[in-house]
Amino acid sequence: MRYLVIRTENLSKHFDRRVAVENVTLDVEPGEIYAVLGPKGSGKSTLIRLVLGLIRPTRGRVMVLGMDPLRQGLALRQRIGYAPEQGVFYPWMRGDEVLRLLAQTRRLPLSESAADLAHQFGLDLSRPFGAYGWGERKILFLVHAFMFSADVLILDEPTVGLDTVAQDVFFRLARQARTEGRTVFFTTSSLLEAERLCDRVALLWQGRILAVERGVQLRAKTLRRIEMRFATPVACEAFAGLPNLEELYLEENKLRCTLRGDPDAFLKVASQYRITDFISQQPSLDEIYRRYYGVGGYAA
Amino acid sequence: MLPDMIATALRARLRWLLGSGAGVLVAIIIWLGITPSLSFENLPDWLELTILADEGGEGVLFTLILPFLMGVPLVLEASRWLGEEISRETIAFLLTLPVRRWILFLGGWGFHVLLLLLLLGSGIIGGWLGATVLEGGRSVSSILTPARWVALGLFLMLLIHVGMLAALFAANTWVGMGSAVGLMSVSLLLYGWSQHIPFLTWLRFILPWYYYVVTIQGGESAQVGWWFMGGINLLLAGGLAWIFRQGRILEAPQYSKDKKLLTER
């Protein structure tokens, strides 16, 4: 039997008659970076709370590191590093005091690795928590999650509010944790983040799992809206033969299209002409859901 | 961990404590200073019985002044603990740490008991100062009767428990505050009616105010008051601990958030 770090079986959580999470079954393996991808309100934070044993499921069950979070919560929480979506704490406490207090809960002194992590993120630990912006608060909780050798890191929207430098630090730390054999389980509403970082991604929609994709598969499904201007008019036929090009619109020297997956072939064709302008945009998660999974605001 | 948590909370509320403590102390001194010029003789009997109006004004101190003066800030503080979103989110985060739930509960609940004790201490100092320094002729023993302060403490604890429970269920500070202060005010009002209107006499036995009044009055019926006040506080504290342990604090904010988001879907 496979050893799974996180296993949920038909997990459901209803608040009165409202469904927050419905029949979610997940298998997270050791040493894996696993994301739950979904738009706001899709049930990601509820799922995290269920996995942590903070709330009781209406149906189904959760096992984390082979333990039931509701019954063996104390032992389990020793082995989990958690960062909340919007962490709050005593506003007058300095960053290092917060980390020291949190370390005390594990009967550990504040290690130098905490200061090192804060330095990597560019966080000043001598400032009071109340003076931190949302991004800095998020960083402080990420430092807390990573500063112990937790077997599993459970992170709720870890990159929301972070600048690009801090995001890169987070990506690096997550990959490092994976190479050390630790598991990173996090929620995100960014497709880009999921495809860049994750081994597997569960796509959540209105509390239900639509699909579980490998990172590679997700990259193949990536959509990019391309807008290009060329120095001279180009022939439509040059692009029309490309298999992963959709909604192609060409008007003299201006091209608009939607590119799916690998951009290599498209760029090779385009580079035969002199390009004067280039814009690439990623469509919303909603659109990805609509195109590939038939759900979403515009779904039929 | 428990002492650390209480010390941390105390540090966070130091200014509140200093302000409230000083307010109670000064208010008692002022009250004891002005009562000699007040006359309660013209009050109707039922009102005298309701607010325990006596010549020295000590009864009124324990019925009208101190329960409201100390009760309102204490209940507000207690309701904030389990009702305010920031406080609830902090507790929710602390619950993800390897700390036992009962320690977290005791940290918060014990902190509010400590606040109550410190305010009572401030009141006792104010009473002593008022009676000995400002009012040389006043009987110190009638103000500093231990039973009266213990009864006040139990009554305030009852209000704190009601405030905490209401705030916990409603996930709202003001609901907690309103429930506890409303209970005290309505209880006082109905107790007054039960003194005034003969066929409502039975009503007093279901009112916390009655049990509070009989304990500060002393005498034979005080025994019933002590049992009621002690018993109901134990019951409410036990119930609150049980509900906290069941994770109610985590369900309610998540519920309100999810409800909002699900409505937006």
Residue of A nearest to B101 (CA): A74
- pLDDT at residue A73 in the model: 86
Task: Report yes or no on A193 lying in a domain.
Answer: yes
Asked whether residue A75 is domain-assigned, the answer is yes
Does A287 map to a domain?
A: no
Pick from B152, B66, B123, B5: which is nearest to B13 by CA? B5
Residues A34 and A81 in one domain: yes
Verify that A201 and A61 share a domain, yes or no: yes
Which chain B residue is nearest to residue A58, measuring alpha carbons?
B251
- pLDDT for A36 equals 94
Per-residue pLDDT tens over the stretch B5-37: 788 778 878 888 899 999 989 888 888 877 777
Indicate whether A188 and A163 sit together in one domain: yes
Which residues of B make CB contacts under 8 Å with A? 1, 4, 8, 11-12, 86, 89-90, 92-93, 95-100, 247, 250-251, 254-255, 257-259, 261-262, 264-265
Q: How confident is the model at residue A261 (pLDDT cuts 50, 70, 90)?
A: confident
User: Among A266, A231, A281, A272, which Cα is nearest to A252's?
Assistant: A231
- Among candidate residues A196, A219, A242, the one where a domain is terminated: A219
Same domain flag for A211 and A228: no
Determine what percent of chain A is predicted with pLDDT higher than 70: 98
According to the model, what pLDDT value does residue B101 have?
86
* Type of residue at B84: E
CB contact under 8 A, B258 and A80: no
Q: What is the mean pLDDT of chain A?
A: 87
In whole angstroms, what is the distance from residue B132 CA to residue B139 CA? 8
Is residue A103, in this structure, part of any structural domain at all?
yes
Q: Are residues A213 and A227 in the same domain?
A: no
Co-location of A118 and A258 in the same domain: no
Same domain, A186 and A269: no
pLDDT value of position B265: 47
Q: Quick one: A49 and A82 in the same domain?
A: yes
**pTM: predicted TM-score of the whole model, two decimal places:** 0.79
- Using CA atoms in the order B77, B83, B88, B89, what is the torsion angle rounded to 10 degrees? -110
Q: A84–B247: do the CB atoms touch at under 8 Å?
A: no
Instruction: Specify burial of residue B262 (Cβ count, 10 A radius: 0-12, 13-18, 19+).
Output: middle
Domain CATH number, residue A204: 3.40.50.300
Domain-embedded: residue A229: yes
Nearest CB neighbour to A74, from listed B86, B100, B259: B100
Q: What is the pLDDT of residue A300?
A: 34
CB atoms B90 and A82 under 8 Å: no
**Number of domains within chain A:** 2
Helix (H) or strand (E) run with residue A114 in it: helix A112-121
- Select from A72, A59, A77 the least CA-distant residue to A8: A59
In chain A, residues with a C-beta closer than 8 Å to the C-beta of B11 are: 92
DSSP for A82-112, please give it.
EE-SS----TTSBHHHHHHHHHHTTT-PPPH
Same domain for A63 and A207? Answer: yes
Same-domain pairing of A125 and A253: no
pLDDT in tens, A5-14: 999 999 999 8
Does the ipTM exceed 0.90?
no
Is A296 contained in some domain? no
CATH of the domain at A271: 3.30.70.1560
| Chain B residues inside the 8 Å CB shell of A45 | 254, 257
At A247-260, the pLDDT tens digits run 888 888 898 988 88
d(CA A281, CA A260): 12
**B250–A105 C-beta distance less than 8 A:** no
One domain, residues A144 and A188: yes
CA A105 to each of CA A283, B150, B183: distance values in angstroms, whole numbers, following the listed order: 43, 35, 38
In a shared domain, residues A250 and A189: no
Task: Tell me which residue range forms the domain holding A235.
Answer: 223-281
Q: Which residue of A has its CA nearest to B248?
A: A55
> Residue A51: closest CA among chain B residues belongs to which residue?
B96
- pLDDT band of residue A299 (cuts 50, 70, 90) is very low
In a domain, A294, yes or no: no
Question: In chain B, what percentage of residues exceed pLDDT 90?
Answer: 29
Determine the Cα–Cα distance for residues B115 and B119; give it in Å rounded to an integer: 6
pLDDT bin (cut points 50, 70, 90) of residue A298 is very low
Q: Going by C-beta distance under 8 Å and a sequence separation of 6 or more, which residues neighbour residue B42?
A: none
Task: Answer yes or no: is A298 within a domain.
Answer: no
**What is the DSSP secondary structure assignment for residue A43, as one 8-state letter?**
S
Interchain CB distance below 8 Å, A55 and B97: no
Note whether A187 and A35 are within 8 A (CB). yes
Q: For residue A185, give the DSSP letter.
A: E
